Amino acid sequence: MAEPRILVLGAGPAGAAAAIGLRRLGYSVAVISEWRRFAAVEGVSQRVLEGLRHAGLVHAMASAAPPAPRRVHWNGAAHGVNQECLVDRPVFDAALREDLRRAGVELIEARVRSVESSTAGHRLYLEPGGVQHADFLVEARGRQAPLAAGRLRGPETVSLLNFWRQAPGVAASAVESLSDGWAWMARLADGRCYWQITLDVASAGLPPREQLPAYCAERRRHSALVAEIFGAAALQPAEVHARSSTAILFHDCGGANWLRVGDAAMAVDPLSGNGIFQSLSSALQAPAVINTLLRHPERAELALGFHQRRVEHLFLRFARTGRDFYALEQRWAERPFWHKRSAWPDSEPMHAAVDASQVRVERLPVIRDGLIEEAEVVVTADQPLGIWHLQGVALAPLVRAVQDGRMLDELLLEQAPELRPMLRSWLVSQGLAVPRG
């Protein structure tokens, strides 16, 4: 049987992580992508950098600037204790491509004009020309991916990104809440400056496109934080790029010969500051899902269900995080922007309360040796997808033994001494054991 040809559409973090993961499993992979058409910068956390390293994107990780101060002005209070690493997206995108090249992934610089798909495979028509064929297709073009009918959308949101240059200085970033939205701003050490305002589409009352630079400059004039971060240069009209930042979850993220990952599967509100992290989260599981679909088609339902449930779980976690942060802003709670977002997607708590009666052992899909298969996992109120291992220790036998009445001290003697405090602490956190006095 000939090796399947896998094409990944998109060379962002999700596409790159999925492609490298597939290469690690021995597949031949090609990535089709065009270059980003506008300058941008993002702030990322150390958790994101660790995720990039884990995905094999070491050059992309190294392209991030050292941690810089991040100020937050929210609900009338100022906080300046945070830090974030600023990422120059054109430099970051080039580093992603270098990681792909070093991993042996073929790179095709082109725009996908159209795709014809069937159960037999996919035919892709490219610009400026050419046709590519694939047995399996990974959709990782982010928000540029074609929309599908089955999806959940949050409040319609637009972000206006402004870019200009000023004299070099100390790198910094900040976020502030406004009466009708919020703004994020960053200054790179070389003098490049970015300011992005995020607004509600229905209530923003934006002017025509040609007037957006002047509109944004006027908004900046009323911000003391902008004046502190940038100085007088920020008061002039600047280049503007408008883009949707509506949260979207797709209810059908895969089939027998295709899979959506990253923002093409779910796109979160930029307020979470975790766009790259969530892209990596869905992409890192994709190689095992694809490997299962190709090698064990009889497990297709298991593999696709594994991918879909984790995409949905991650989306709701980030959506609820954003909801709770929006709810902290009380000065304009009844205004359209804040009222909509402080109640979406639901009223469920971010973290379910500890309930020992809800802890149970079930057989659910997990990743083992690059494939999706069933295993016994521990399901809790806060972890409905189940927990398989903790630092290499299978939790299901331990939990079952505790629930059967065996003495905890006796059970822990069967584990390595350095792991016993951690396991005890986890059992206590689930209400399955009492703290030591």
Per-residue pLDDT of the chain (437 residues; tens, 9 = 90+): 578 999 999 999 999 999 999 999 999 999 999 987 777 888 888 888 999 999 999 999 999 999 888 899 999 999 876 788 999 999 999 999 999 999 999 999 999 999 999 999 999 999 988 999 999 999 999 888 887 777 899 999 999 999 999 999 989 999 999 999 999 999 999 999 999 999 999 999 999 999 999 999 999 999 999 999 998 989 999 999 999 999 999 999 999 999 999 999 999 888 866 678 888 888 999 999 999 999 999 999 999 999 999 999 999 999 999 999 999 999 999 999 999 999 999 999 988 888 999 999 999 999 999 999 999 999 998 899 999 999 999 999 999 999 999 999 999 999 999 999 999 999 999 999 988 75
Cα 252 to Cα 405: distance, rounded to the nearest angstrom:
43
According to the model, what pLDDT value does residue 1 have? 53
According to the model, what pLDDT value does residue 254 have? 96
According to the model, what pLDDT value does residue 201 have? 97
> How many other β-carbons are positioned within 10 Å of the β-carbon of residue 302?
16
The residue written with tokens 């949260």 in the block is 247
Torsion of CA 339, 343, 344, 347, to 10 degrees: 180
Q: Which domains does the chain possess?
A: 6-68+77-151+247-341 (3.50.50.60), 157-244 (3.30.9.100), 356-429 (no CATH)
What's the sign of the alpha-carbon dihedral 407, 409, 414, 415? positive
According to the model, what pLDDT value does residue 273 have? 61
For the entire predicted model, the pTM comes to 0.94
